[in-house]
């Protein structure tokens, strides 16, 4: 062959070879280039969905074809063959079977979480039955599909020529729903694949709204709305960590399981009932597989399996042999059948012409950016149309204001073109004052435009006289309001985002539904908690809110003269305010000032070593802004009966709630007590339901009442309430006063029981009985004296004196019993009151007589300018240690037994000297330095 007939392909962009000539190229290079072209065509044009509308080209073209055919949800059904033909002939020049398969899948409620096509006829089944031929089936769009196509006629998306350039087709749909996440997608491209699970529309829209409101929000905020995938076939989803990891990276794997229950067929025969199966599992093949397992003797305890599914739902009955254990059979079925199936998520989609793996938050952001673009383009379109409408109406106004002149000009014109020219010349050369709510000269805007002239000429003459000025002005005012609205949307990012949020809320409210797939926190595999030893540890809480966990061996008691050891490295002016000894598997219930409660496992508290300062509760619990932890309670069993959480608020409200009401553990916290705007939680404690409650106020008042609810005594005590309840009045406060502290103490019955036990041990039962008898007689005499005084016509000195004498006898009897308590060794509960000026006193709880809840209480402190008002109320015993902090940062540590015991209405003694303008900021009881325990070679270990 001559050289001129075999030219080489120019590599430098030179003159291309002439037509008909042969080109010699490297086959390796050509194969590489052609395969890359082919692979990108498959990736972009066939197998992967667009990240914006969640559709592949074939789905988009089918829906657009149906829209162009007018097949809205409220129109009549049309043969699927007609839809396929329209899509294939105009937009998608591929095989009709592939297009019909796409149409069918969009109509199957077991394939799409929210079907986009409303099918009539046989569209297949979960058993794998094929659909009827397209000449038999009929279809139209679902109402939800209209949301994908909404506003498409408002220049909201780009259009490109179709394959033969006979018409235009959209490159993407202006969808109002995040369809990629809601309905998911799957497909195999060249060298890559996508497998996106469907999700619940309500959850995804709520997460989208969160991101629209707060563009800086991340995956943590999204996961507060999106629990996980929500499959159309329901079932259970295991492996929360796998779901979170998939959302974080775009790839992940989690386990799906069928939903099952057991039923008694006879007294001795059970059956396993399957009502929901994993996504994309063929029901018929599942039943066949179970039958194969029975035939092959892999599963021996199944006597029969049958399908009782009907239009009311799925029901697979697996009959068990007599004596079979359902749990064992289920485990065998999970292992050998698709009743348990894994789902491998690959969140791959096309954005800006390139395939990309998306974390969940980025996928939502891609949709939000698309919606921002769509709303902007729609608003620009509406603004242009509104201004065009305004312009025409201004022309009508000019014509009406100059009606005689306009008619004269038209009548004098020889033709329509002549009239058009004459009207335009008149408007251009005449100064026409137009009062349209804004005075201006028409000549300043060059009079009537040609568009206005054409609009006037298109009106019939008689209509000019019927068009009223008021009607024109009304239309102008309305359209100008819309123009102002459109301009404000385009000028304000916040307003534009509000438009998107409102449209999302409308979609959610109209199409949102409940979850079908239940997320199970426990993985099908071994849990983290199973790997953590169940052992006693120490958790320390610092005054400034730092938590740490340490081995219990850190707290070994030293003999006298020891140097001690650092148990917690705290920040300047910080100290350990609480020591908790409990199991690593116990819960810490953390109650905040806003009335919320957060959970954390003890093993989740960081172990930072003996000298570490720990981690702040703000970050550990993910507290909301303005939240501060007011109480931390260790609990091993959240379902324990007979246990309650007691709450007290600043404004005197009290409540108790069963502990089991807090068993639904949620990391983001839940409401523990409803708190009013001007109130906050100051205390929370664990009770057995039969204790006494003590409240102390800023102005020195105090009340003590029984916790146990007694409906026969006018409802005295506290009735258990739910978490969302606000509670009851605990104490009646005077104006400006508020509660500063609360304490839970043993009931009188408990203290009497302890007295009896001590008296038996010391052989002093007779003396105890005598003292109790004296007290009861004194109380009875006092009651009798008071009744006589109330019954007398008028108060007399003798009756008053009798009451005072009876009160003294009662007080003496109570004092004798208390002194006997010391001899018996009965433990004391003391109320420590600390004042703002640094004074303090200890008072026996028995000094505060039990009264009805809600009363004003009794005086707890003899407040004077010298001692000041109450700053803190604490429950102490003979071994308690106290730390007092002032506003200026002065700190003192005090052994509480050095604080003199005093009566109720006393001033107390000075605890620390303060500067003139300094006040006590806080007082807390701290763990003792020494802990009693069992001695070993290294010291004494806490028990």
Residues designated as active site: 136
Query: CB neighbours of 89 closer than 8 A, spacing ≥ 6?
Result: none
Q: Are 323 and 302 in contact (CB under 8 A)?
A: no
**Residue position matching structure tokens 């592939």:** 98
Query: CB neighbours of 792 closer than 8 A, spacing ≥ 6?
Result: 799
Query: CB neighbours of 553 closer than 8 A, spacing ≥ 6?
Result: 941
Counting beta carbons within 10 angstroms of the beta carbon of residue 644, is it exposed (0 to 12), middle (13 to 18) or buried (19 or more)? buried
Q: Which residues of 857-875 are buried (b: 16+ CB within 10 A; e: fewer)?
A: bbebbebeeebbbbbbbbb
Q: Find the DSSP H helices in 190-338.
A: 201-213, 219-223, 240-249, 283-295, 326-336
SS3 content of the chain, % helix, strand, coil (to 5): 35, 25, 40
C-beta atoms surrounding 757 within 10 Å: 12
Alpha carbons 870 and 660: distance in angstroms, whole number:
35
CA-based nearest residue to 144, from 171, 173, 114: 114
Q: Read off the tokens for 535.
A: 């052992």
Q: Read off the tokens for 39.
A: 């692979």
CA-based nearest residue to 831, from 741, 747, 771: 741
Cross-strand partners of 710: 716
Strand runs labelled E in 392-545: 433-434, 440-441, 518-520, 536-542
- 16 SS3 class: coil
Counting beta carbons within 10 angstroms of the beta carbon of residue 818, is it exposed (0 to 12), middle (13 to 18) or buried (19 or more)? middle
Q: Are 629 and 545 in contact (CB under 8 A)?
A: yes
Query: CB neighbours of 504 closer than 8 A, spacing ≥ 6?
Result: 176, 205, 208, 209, 212
Alpha carbons 197 and 228: distance in angstroms, whole number:
9
Alpha carbons 712 and 473: distance in angstroms, whole number:
75
């Amino acid at each position: 062959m001559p050289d001129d007939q075999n030219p080489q392909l120019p590599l430098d962009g030179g003159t291309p070879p002439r037509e008909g000539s042969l080109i010699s190229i490297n086959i390796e290079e050509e194969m590489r280039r052609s395969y890359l072209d082919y692979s990108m065509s498959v990736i972009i044009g066939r197998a992967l969905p667009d990240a914006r509308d969640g559709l592949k080209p074939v789905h988009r073209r089918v829906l657009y074809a149906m829209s162009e055919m007018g097949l809205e949800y409220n129109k009549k059904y049309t043969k699927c063959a007609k839809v396929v033909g329209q899509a294939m002939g105009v937009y998608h020049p591929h095989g009709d079977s592939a297009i019909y398969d796409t149409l069918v899948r969009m109509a199957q409620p077991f394939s799409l979480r929210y079907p986009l096509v409303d099918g009539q006829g046989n569209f297949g089944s979960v058993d794998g039955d094929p659909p009827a031929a397209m000449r038999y089936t009929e279809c139209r769009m679902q109402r939800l599909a209209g949301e994908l196509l909404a506003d498409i006629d408002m220049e909201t998306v780009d259009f490109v020529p179709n394959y033969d350039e006979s018409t235009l087709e959209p490159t993407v749909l202006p969808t109002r729903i995040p369809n990629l996440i809601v309905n998911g997608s799957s497909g195999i491209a060249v060298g890559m694949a996508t497998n996106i699970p469907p999700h619940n529309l309500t959850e995804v829209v709520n997460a989208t709204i969160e991101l629209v409101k707060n563009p800086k929000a991340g995956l943590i905020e999204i996961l507060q709305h999106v629990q996980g995938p929500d499959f159309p076939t329901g079932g259970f989803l295991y492996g929360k960590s796998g779901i979170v990891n998939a959302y974080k990276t775009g790839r992940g794997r989690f386990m799906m399981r069928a939903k099952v229950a057991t039923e008694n067929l006879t007294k001795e025969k059970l059956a396993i009932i399957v009502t929901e199966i994993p996504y994309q599992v063929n029901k018929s093949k599942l039943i066949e597989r179970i039958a194969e397992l029975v035939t092959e003797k892999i599963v021996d305890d199944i006597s029969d399996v049958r399908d009782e599914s009907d239009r009311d739902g799925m029901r697979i009955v697996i009959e068990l042999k007599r004596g079979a254990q359902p749990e064992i059979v289920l485990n065998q079925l999970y292992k050998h059948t698709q009743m348990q199936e894994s789902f491998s998520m690959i969140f791959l989609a096309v954005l800006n012409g390139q395939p990309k793996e998306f974390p969940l938050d980025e996928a939502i952001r891609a949709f939000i950016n698309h919606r921002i673009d769509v709303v902007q383009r729609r608003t620009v379109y509406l603004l242009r149309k509104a201004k065009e409408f305004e312009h025409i109406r201004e022309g009508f106004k000019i014509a009406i204001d100059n009606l005689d002149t306009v008619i004269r000009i038209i009548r004098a014109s020889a033709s329509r073109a002549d009239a058009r020219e004459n009207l335009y010349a008149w408007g251009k050369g005449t100064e026409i004052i137009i009062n349209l709510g804004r005075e201006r000269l028409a000549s300043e805007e060059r009079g009537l435009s040609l568009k206005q002239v054409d609009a006037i000429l298109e009106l019939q003459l008689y209509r000019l006289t019927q068009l009223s000025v008021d009607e024109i002005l009304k239309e102008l005012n309305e359209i100008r309001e819309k123009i102002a609205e459109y301009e404000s949307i385009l000028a304000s990012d916040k307003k534009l985002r509000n438009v998107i949020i409102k449209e999302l809320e409308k979609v959610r409210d109209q199409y949102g539904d409940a979850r079908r797939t239940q997320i199970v926190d426990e993985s099908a595999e071994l849990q983290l908690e199973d790997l953590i030893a169940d052992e006693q540890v120490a958790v320390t809480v610092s005054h400034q809110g730092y938590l740490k966990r340490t081995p219990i061996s850190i707290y070994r008691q030293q003999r006298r003269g020891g140097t001690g050891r650092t148990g917690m490295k705290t920040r300047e002016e910080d100290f350990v305010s609480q020591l908790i000894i409990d199991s690593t598997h116990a819960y810490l219930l953390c109650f905040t000032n806003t009335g919320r409660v957060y959970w954390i496992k003890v093993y989740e508290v960081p172990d930072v070593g003996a000298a570490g300062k720990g981690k702040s509760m703000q970050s550990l619990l993910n507290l909301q802004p303005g939240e501060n932890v007011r109480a931390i309670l260790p609990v091993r069993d959240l379902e324990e009966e007979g246990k309650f959480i007691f709450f007290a608020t600043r404004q005197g409200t009290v409540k108790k709630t069963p502990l089991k009401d807090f068993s639904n553990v949620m990391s983001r916290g839940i409401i523990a007590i409803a708190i009013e705007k001007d109130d906050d939680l100051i205390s929370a404690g664990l009770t057995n339901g039969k204790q006494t409650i003590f409240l102390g106020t800023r102005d020195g008042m105090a009340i003590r009442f029984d916790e146990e609810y007694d409906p026969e005594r006018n409802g005295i005590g506290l009735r258990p309430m739910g978490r969302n309840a606000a509670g009851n009045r605990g104490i009646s406060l005077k104006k400006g006063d508020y509660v500063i502290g609360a304490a839970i103490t043993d009931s009188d019955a408990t203290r009497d029981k302890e007295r009896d036990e001590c008296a038996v041990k010391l052989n002093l039962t007779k003396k105890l009985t005598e003292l109790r008898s004296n007290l009861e007689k004194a109380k009875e005499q006092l009651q009798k004296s008071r009744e006589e005084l109330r019954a007398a016509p008028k108060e007399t000195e003798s009756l008053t004196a009798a009451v005072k004498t009876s009160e003294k006898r009662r007080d003496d009897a109570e004092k004798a019993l208390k002194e006997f308590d010391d001899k018996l060794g009965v433990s004391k509960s003391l109320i420590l009151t600390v004042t703002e000026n640094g004074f303090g006193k200890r008072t026996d709880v028995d000094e505060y007589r039990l009264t009805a809840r809600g009363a004003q209480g009794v005086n707890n402190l003899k407040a004077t300018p010298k001692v000041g008002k109450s700053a803190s109320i604490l429950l102490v015993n003979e071994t308690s240690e106290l730390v007092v902090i002032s506003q200026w940062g002065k700190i003192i540590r005090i052994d509480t037994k050095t604080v003199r015991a005093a009566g109720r209405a006393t001033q107390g003694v000075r605890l620390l000297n303060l500067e003139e303008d300094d006040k006590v900021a806080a007082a807390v009881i701290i763990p003792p330095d020494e802990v009693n325990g069992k001695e070993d070679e290294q010291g004494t270990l806490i028990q």
